Amino acid sequence: MLEPVPPATCALLRQVSTATLTTQLLARGLRNTFLHGLAALNPGCTMMVGEAFTLRYIPAREDLDVLSVFDDYDHPQRRAVEAAPPDAVLVMDCRGRNRAASLGHILGSRLLARGVAGVVTDGAVRDSPGFRGLQLPTFAAGAAATTNLAQHHAVDLQVPIGCAEVAVYPGDVMVGDGDGVVCIPRHLATEVAEAAARQEHLEEYLLTRVQAGAPLRGTYPPDAATRSAYEQWAQEHPRRDGTTAPPTGRVRPPPHPRTPESEGDLPCS
């Protein structure tokens, strides 16, 4: 059984953007970590951090996927909803097909009641108006009124899957915000979280310089003089985790500015 991701790592991941995380993952050779094409169904509830709990769908077959299968409480889709641990993220592989839903509002509400951290699917959901008011970060490729049985057959839980063309292994760390969802390989979570926090602290300072009229040359990326000025600034402006350690390595492009809405999402994660 996997050891839980350290709470300090999760706390850092809640403070940084998915934009910064993709940069730090790219710096480590990982180019395909952002789940392209997924959008938050409730724009006011996007902040999400949790370990992946996976559900795999294959194409439906007419003689097997009939409405009566839902009479079985152990149907794999229903088992996934009841088995995903609190603080986990249910990640579904729908092969990028969204003609039928992967789950609906009732199942989403059950996940919220169980304390699950979020839902990610490269398929669709049904009852999308209900999700718009649900305080559960949910990222999907669209909406479809048709039940999952018309296109999807749930077969496996807690196996490696592909979601939005990204490999997701059980226990990988899923992070969501207003831009979308990033999958962080579990063994890199702490290293990436710490580096992302350092990057954003430096960029917070660089942004003040640019807003004050400083040119990009010497500022972004910072030269030795700018780094020295940053280190002095950092002593008076500690990171949100209370540290002042300056970053190392070349600075990357800054994340999108935070909004009051995103800052207010923390209780949803």
Predicted pLDDT at 30: 98
Domain boundaries, the chain: 31-184
Rounded distance, CA 27 to CA 251, Å?
Answer: 11
Type of residue found at 43: P
Over residues 111-126, mean pLDDT:
98
Q: What is the pLDDT of residue 244?
A: 53
Q: Where are the alpha helices (DSSP H) in 125-188?
A: 128-132
Over range 105-123, report the average pLDDT: 98
Q: Greatest CA span in the chain, whole angstroms?
A: 70
The pTM of the full predicted model, rounded to 2 decimals, is 0.88
Q: Is the pLDDT of residue 196 over 60?
A: yes
Residue 242 has pLDDT above 70, yes or no: no
Among 238, 249, 243, which Cα is nearest to 205's? 238
- What does the pLDDT look like over 39-61, one tens digit per residue? 999 999 999 999 999 999 999 99
Mean pLDDT, residues 225-243: 90
The pLDDT-based confidence of 243 (bands split at 50, 70, 90) is low
Q: Residue 199, Cα to own-chain centre: how many angstroms? A: 19
Residue among 140, 132, 153 at smallest CA distance from 37: 140
Mean pLDDT of 66-85: 95
Q: What is the mean pLDDT of the chain?
A: 91
How far apart, in whole angstroms, are the C-alpha atoms of residue 5 and residue 162? 22
**In this model, does residue 255 exceed pLDDT 50?**
no
Give CA–CA dist 2/136, Å, rounded: 25
Question: Per-residue pLDDT for 86 more than 60?
Answer: yes
Q: Which residues, other chains included, contact 31 with Cβ-Cβ below 8 Å and sequence gap of 6+?
A: 25
Tell me: pLDDT of 265 over 50. Answer: no
φ and ψ at residue 138, rounded to 5 degrees: -135, 125
**Is the Cβ–Cβ distance between 253 and 30 less than 8 Å?**
no
Q: Which residues lie across from 59 on neighbouring strands?
A: 152
Q: What dihedral angle (degrees, nearest 10) is formed by the CA atoms of 236, 242, 244, 248?
A: -140
Cβ-contact 246, 203 below 8 angstroms: no
pLDDT tens by residue, 161-195: 999 999 999 999 999 999 999 999 999 999 999 99
Q: Which CATH number fits domain 31-184: 3.40.50.410, 1.10.472.10, 3.50.30.40, 3.90.226.10?
A: 3.50.30.40
Give dist(CA 46, CA 89) in Å, integer.
13
Mean pLDDT of 196-209: 97
Helix runs in the chain, H state only:
7-15, 18-27, 76-83, 105-113, 128-132, 189-211, 224-236, 260-263
Span of 13-27, 184-198, 246-260 with lowest mean pLDDT: 246-260
Mean of pLDDT values over 20-27? 98
For residue 250, pLDDT over 50 is answered with: no
